[in-house]
Amino acid sequence: MPGNAVFRIRPAQVEDAPAVAKHRVEMFRDMGRIASDDTATALKDASLALIHEWLAGGGYVGWLAEPVARPGLVVGGAGVQLRPMLPRPSADGRTLVAGPEAYVMNVYVERAWRRRGVATLLMEYILGYVRERRLRRVTLHATPEGRPLYEKLGFVATNELRLG
């Protein structure tokens, strides 16, 4: 069974779009970025339509975690959006790195199930998928809570700047 002795990891299906949208809302809530229930509802509704479309079209690939002892109970999830990328020179300037790039998003674990390795397991699945698909670039924006997890997996800070 994919996962470990305690948690099963399964691919998110189109019918799981509401669970993925919920993770997205709860992730932003935990980040202190949601000021009211109206914002939460608006974010959930607006995200749900796109997540549904992207899951159906393959532009988003997600995984959900369930405790082996509680099948059907989704306790966390994570996904990647496959983003087009123009080819660029590799770090040593000798080869090309071509797209798409995997943008990791919606990494969320229910509070009661944290610090048991669920997010690590989900990220290992994502990195397995990235290797399998031979994707050359994986990016994400980390919360302070998530940062140690990604650093442990080898992610490093980049030169990105942002306006807005």
- Which chain residues interact with ligand COA by CB under 6 A? 27, 30, 107-109, 114-120, 142-143, 145-146, 148-149
The least CB distance from residue 63 to ligand COA, in Å, is: 13
Residue 32 or 93: the one with the smaller Cβ distance to ligand COA is 32
Residue 33 or 88: the one with the smaller Cβ distance to ligand COA is 33
Residue 98 or 110: the one with the smaller Cβ distance to ligand COA is 110
Q: Are 81 and 103 in contact (CB under 8 A)?
A: yes
The least CB distance from residue 75 to ligand COA, in Å, is: 9
Residue type, 86: L
The least CB distance from residue 118 to ligand COA, in Å, is: 4
Residue that is written with structure tokens 């993770």 in the block? 23
Residue 30 or 99: the one with the smaller Cβ distance to ligand COA is 30
How far apart are alpha carbons 36 and 96 in whole angstroms? 46
DSSP 76-89: EEEEEEEE----EE
Q: Where are the alpha helices (DSSP H) in 33-152?
A: 37-57, 118-132, 147-152
| Residue of 78, 92, 96, 91 whose CA lies nearest to 9 | 78
- DSSP 8-state secondary structure symbol assigned to residue 11: E
The least CB distance from residue 94 to ligand COA, in Å, is: 32
The least CB distance from residue 31 to ligand COA, in Å, is: 6
Residue that is written with structure tokens 């123009």 in the block? 86
Residue 90 or 120: the one with the smaller Cβ distance to ligand COA is 120
